[in-house]
Amino acid sequence: KVKVIEPAGRIYLTFDDGPSEYTSALLDVLAKYNVKATFFVTGYGDDALIKREYDEGHAVGLHTNSHIYSYLYSSVDNYVVDLNAVGERVRRVTGKATKLMRFPGGSSNLISARYDGGGRIMSKLVSLMNEWGYTYFDWNVDSDDAGGASTPDQVYNNVVGALKRGGDSIVLQHDVKSYSVEAVERIIQYGLENNFTFSKLTADSFSAHHGVNN
């Protein structure tokens, strides 16, 4: 009799704001376990790291060039110029354009309301991105590595404790945070030991959209 093991769920590891000095070590860990992840990159860091992300089979998406909220969210034009700049970087470095993206702060962010003069810019940007064929991704598992978590143990516990069992988990981490990168090997080990599947995001995958609030 064949024992059928049900998958525990699918985990999409995502890393924002890089590349950085920690990205190389992260790529080594991902390669060690043959786990594919998703990077939402900026204008910062080394081109060679974005090339390596792409060449090693990870998804490379766009997270804006400057990541400066006061600039990005003060006008649709600014946002578009900045998005196009990082889009051009990814196209130049990888040889392939991408329409995967993540808004700084997520689609539900209210930070944008400080800068848009009451223009409800997130509503406009979500419509525009959809119209232009971009796919944007939020998350449903927050490592809190940009908030209260500041050690690998905290990041690990936040992620493992919030995984969607029997469903899809898009995990938010930042590869500009050393303690978050340091937690990744244990997160992968936990996932594999508990029969989760790891995948990269695609235009057709689960997307975990937050509600737009501005």
Under rule CB under 5 A, residue 145 binds Zn ion: no
| Region near Zn ion per CB under 5 A, out of 9-17, 122-130, 182-190, 193-201 | 9-17
Cβ atoms 107, 210 nearer than 8 A: yes
Distance CA 80, CA 74 (A): 11
Cβ atoms 77, 54 nearer than 8 A: no
Give residues 82-141 in contact with Zn ion (rule: CB under 5 A). Answer: 104
Distance CA 137, CA 201 (A): 9
| Region near Zn ion per CB under 5 A, out of 17-25, 28-36, 79-87, 122-130 | 17-25
Q: Residue with CB nearest Zn ion?
A: 16
The CB density around residue 32, as the number of other CB atoms within 10 Å, is 10
Please report the sign of the dihedral spanned by the C-alpha atoms of residue 186, residue 192, residue 197, residue 199. positive
Under rule CB under 5 A, residue 19 binds Zn ion: no
- Looking at the Cβ atoms of 98 and 196, the one nearer to Zn ion is 98
- Looking at the Cβ atoms of 103 and 196, the one nearer to Zn ion is 103
Residues in the site for Zn ion, rule: CB under 5 A?
A: 16-17, 104
